[in-house]
Chains A and B, each alone.
Chain A
């Protein structure tokens, strides 16, 4: 059996990659995908603990996260479409009109 540390390491690496991706990508869609990656990294950690502890709580959480992620995708993508219509670009640095 694969020990839990492997799962957690993979989860941490995926999370870090996702976070890094959010920070260095300028394209909103790429950033969005990276956010999804981070969510799924967390899901992986939940599943691993659920299996390791023989409890279903973690799996229930994962369902919640997936539902939220689906809703987020619907709203997020709609926002991205609107942003693109407004600015004709997907560069997130162009969304800077709310600063001081």
Chain B
């Protein structure tokens, strides 16, 4: 009898945990090959279980595609119950396939990329732990357990950003990521508390059923649902690096490149989008919050794309690109098109992981050179990297038939035609799409084309463990979009597959648009991308000096972009510096040193001073003690004499 994944799917979270435990506790004594083997084997096994589950899962009829598995009761106190249970529905299925699939490829890639680094076992233990935590996040059947996974991936992210802990910048970046995420997490946990207060439960399905029963209509004004949705969105902003909490993600590039690919591009940063989509029942009833979500998404998409156009570090361009693409996903969920957001999450996982791994391959070949302007002409030396990265670039730029086109096109179409959307959102997204094409082609032209100076030490492509993940991801960057065809080309299987997960969603009126107008929108999107590509080609291939001239022509514009709109500086001035001063001057130097230490030390020195005075009585001479007795007796006698007289 074949393995029954319906009941046994939960084992997939155990393998990476086991791998993390074995490597983390004993990996120091293992040879590097064995560490890598254990880690890859465990994540591979996890993927196999996920894939097997998917095959059986997709045979089930649509309405029964919600499997739950109660493992044990975690907390039980009064009417508060938090169970350690897993929920497998189409939404978490998609997430699990991305997490374990991309995760496995990145494990394989890391065996080569991290080969020369000390603490190899540490890296793989963290990476396996990350897969476990992310699986918990995606499979959780209640908000509290999701929060465990949420914090767990934050911890792994912190550990892996600070992997090169002997470099100060890496330590700072890790702390920045951790602290900025705390701001968001505070919102998340408050949201969960408010959910429990309102619905007496934290489990998804009971909560959503109550939402449907108690809130048949969308909230007309700001009420309890909006408050919950807003608090959860604060958590999503932190994790998914949206304005105003996006600042940690670019700095997170201090971590090893495969980590950037897995955690800071494909999986963890999309957790915010996942949270929003998971809570579709709540969000779809709070149009005001949704409008905020969509606007923040659109502004972030444009803002980050603008910054990406002038960055010179290959990984930073990709980091801002990730921020921008996450903005797209939030546009989608913000106009109520949760399926479209998850679709972009899905395709983005492939092409962005591919681009990061390609960048890693370039960095490896150039011995850790990350400056775009010192690259060039690598096409000849790194043919596989070049080919696969071109596929990734075409995908992210939204050129059909690559994956990014379908998801991005769907988002822009929904932004335009959804009852919650608006032409303004669409226009912002469109400009961001053009900019995306521009900065990605700029990156590619600067890296692989033009002339390089590599004659002395020709860089070469590394082993198969680097190329094979690239080829796999390239394949998916090409075909992953075909499962979600726009209505004028066929059917959207992806959306259809996800439907059971969004059955509690409130429908804001149907949006029926003619195929012709959708075709028109798609053509405009492609046109914007082509325009971006053309400008990029003109600036970096046809007349390579033009970009420098433009920069010196508009020095202030260039400077603002290059300094990333001075956001880090503004935060330093407005938040970091005042907090630092409060901490150092008031809390440390005044309250701690003066008040608390002062009280404690003062008590000590008070008694010490008196002791110094009184110790003189204890001279050690018996006759002096005797005279004290005598004086005492005299005093008593005098007292008696005067009081009795």
- Which of A's residues lie within 8 Å of B, judged by CB? 19, 22-24, 26, 31, 92-93, 95-100
Complex Cα distance, B623 from A100, in Å, reads: 16
A100 to B614, CA, bound (A): 10
**Bound form: Cα–Cα A92–B623 in Å:** 8
B623/A95 in contact, CB under 8 A: no
Q: How far is the CA of A24 from the CA of B358 in the complex (A)?
A: 100
Q: Shortest CB–CB separation between residue A38 and chain B, in angstroms?
A: 10
For residue A92, which residues in chain B have a CB less than 8 angstroms away from its CB? 621-623
**Contact indicator per residue, chain B 505-541, by CB within 8 Å of chain A (1) or not (0):** 0000000000000000000000000000000000000
For B618, the chain A residues whose CB sits under 8 A away are 98-100
Instruction: Decide: B626 and A22 in contact? CB cutoff 8 A.
Output: yes
Across the interface, B623 reaches (CB within 8 A) one of A26, A97, A98, A99, namely A26
CB-CB under 8 A from B627, the residues of chain A are: 23
Q: Which residues of B contact A96 (CB under 8 A)?
A: 619-621
Give bound CA distance, A26 to B620, whole Å. 14
A56 shortest CB reach to chain B, Å: 26
* Residue from B615, B623, B627 having most chain A Cβ neighbours under 10 A: B623
A27 to chain B, nearest CB (A): 11
CB distance from A64 to the nearest CB of B (A): 20
Task: Give bound CA distance, A95 to B620, whole Å.
Answer: 7
Whether B37 is near chain A, meaning CB under 8 Å from some CB there, is no
- Identity of the chain A residue whose Cβ is nearest the Cβ of B611 in the assembled complex: A100
| Pair B630/A93 contact, Cβ less than 8 Å | no
User: Are B620 and A22 in contact, CB atoms less than 8 angstroms apart?
Assistant: no
Q: List 11 A-B contacts (CB under 8 A).
A: A23-B630, A24-B623, A31-B623, A92-B622, A92-B623, A93-B621, A93-B623, A95-B620, A97-B620, A98-B618, A99-B620
What are the 8 closest A-B residue pairs judged by CB atoms, nearest first? Answer: A99-B620, A96-B620, A100-B615, A92-B622, A99-B618, A100-B618, A22-B626, A23-B627
Tell me the nearest residue of chain B to A34, going by C-beta. B626
Q: How far is the CB of B638 from chain A (nearest CB, A)?
A: 15
Against A, the Cβ 8 Å flags (1 = close, 0 = not) of B604-643 are: 0000000000010011111100110010000000000000
Q: Find residues 544-588 in chain B having any chain A CB closer than 8 Å to their own CB.
A: none
Q: Shortest distance in angstroms between A23's beta carbon and chain B's nearest beta carbon?
A: 5
Nearest-neighbor residue (CB-CB) of B630 within chain A: A19
Measured in the bound complex, the distance between the Cα atoms of B608 and A100 in whole Å is: 13
Which chain A positions have C-beta within 8 A of B630? 19, 23
- Produce 1/0 per residue, B336-365, CB < 8 A to A: 000000000000000000000000000000
B310-332: CB near A (< 8 Å → 1, else 0) gives 00000000000000000000000
* B633 nearest CB neighbor, chain A only: A19
- Asked if A23 and B619 sit within 8 Å, CB to CB, the answer is no
In the complex formed, the residue of A with least CB distance to B619 is A99
CA–CA, A48 to B324, complex, Å?
112
**B626 contacts A98, C-beta separation under 8 Å:** no
Q: How many residues on chain B are close to A (CB under 8 Å)?
A: 10
In the assembled complex, the CB of A20 is this many whole angstroms from the nearest CB of chain B, namely 9
New contact pairs (16) apart from A22-B623, A23-B627, CB-CB < 8 Å: A19-B630, A23-B630, A26-B623, A31-B623, A92-B622, A93-B622, A93-B623, A95-B622, A96-B619, A96-B620, A96-B621, A97-B620, A98-B618, A99-B620, A100-B618, A100-B620
**Cβ-defined contact, B620 with A23, below 8 A:** no
Cα distance, A92 to B627, chains bound together (Å) = 14
In the assembled complex, the Cα of A38 lies from the Cα of B587 at a distance in Å of 65
Alpha-carbon separation in the docked complex, A24 to B622 (Å): 11
Q: Once the chains are docked, how many angstroms separate the CA of A97 from the CA of B619?
A: 10
Measured in the bound complex, the distance between the Cα atoms of B489 and A19 in whole Å is 122
Docked complex Cα distance between A31 and B622 (Å): 11
Measured in the bound complex, the distance between the Cα atoms of B620 and A23 in whole Å is 14
For B615, what are the chain A residues with a Cβ–Cβ distance below 8 Å? 100
Closest to B614 in A: A100
Instruction: Name the B residues within 8 Å of A97 (CB-CB).
Output: 620
Q: Which residue of A lies closest to B626 (CB)?
A: A22
CB distance B626 to A23 under 8 Å? yes
Tell me, in angstroms, the Cα distance from A95 to B615 when the chains sit together: 17
Query: B620 contacts which chain A residues (CB < 8 A)?
Result: 95-100
**Which of B626, B627, B630 has the most A CB atoms < 10 Å from its CB?**
B626
* Nearest opposing residue in chain B for A95, CB measure: B622
CA distance A98 to B623 in the complex (A): 14
Nearest CB on A from B624, distance (A) = 9
* Chain A residues within 8 Å of B623, by CB: 22-24, 26, 31, 92-93
Separation in Å of the A17 CB from the closest CB of chain B?
13
A95-B621 Cα distance, complex, nearest whole Å? 7
Give the Cβ gap from A16 to chain B, nearest Cβ, in Å: 10
Nearest-Cβ distance from residue B628 to partner chain A, whole angstroms: 11
A93 to chain B, nearest CB (A): 6
Closest Cβ of chain A to B163, distance in Å, is 58
Contacts of A100 in B (CB 8 A): 615, 618, 620
Distance in angstroms between the alpha carbons of A100 and B627 in the assembled complex: 19
Q: How far is the CA of A31 from the CA of B620 in the complex (A)?
A: 17
CA of A96 to CA of B621, assembled, Å: 6
User: With A and B bound together, what is the CA distance between A62 and B626 in angstroms?
Assistant: 24
Minimum Cβ distance to chain B for residue A42 (Å): 12
Contacts of A24 in B (CB 8 A): 623
Bound: A70/B301 CA distance, A: 105
Which of A19, A92, A100 counts the most B-chain CB atoms under 10 A from its CB? A100
A99 proximity list for chain B (CB < 8 A)? 618-620
What is the minimal beta-carbon distance from A99 to any residue of chain B, in angstroms? 3
Contacts of B619 in A (CB 8 A): 96, 99
Residue of A23, A24, A95 most packed against chain B (CB within 10 A): A23
B583 CB → nearest A CB, Å: 43
Task: With CB as the reference atom, state the residue of chain A lying closest to B634.
Answer: A19
Shortest CB-to-CB span from B485 to chain A, Å, is 94
CB neighbours (8 Å) of A22 from chain B are: 623, 626
Q: Cβ of A23: which chain B residues have Cβ within 8 Å of it?
A: 623, 626-627, 630
Q: Nearest Cβ distance between residue B13 and chain A, in whole angstroms? A: 67
CA distance A98 to B615 in the complex (A): 12
A35–chain B nearest beta-carbon distance, Å: 9
In angstroms, Cα B621 to Cα A36, docked, is 21
Complex alpha-carbon distance, A23 and B627, angstroms = 6
Residue of B whose beta carbon sits closest to that of A28? B622
When C-beta atoms are compared, the residue in chain B nearest to A99 turns out to be B620
Q: How far is the CB of B206 from chain A (nearest CB, A)?
A: 73
Docked complex Cα distance between A95 and B623 (Å): 10
Across the interface, which residues of B come within 8 angstroms of A26, CB to CB? 623
User: CA A99 – CA B627 in complex, angstroms?
Assistant: 16
Query: Which residue of B is nearest A25, CB measured?
Result: B623
Min Cβ gap A25→B in Å is 8
Query: Nearest-CB distance from A85 to chain B (Å)?
Result: 18
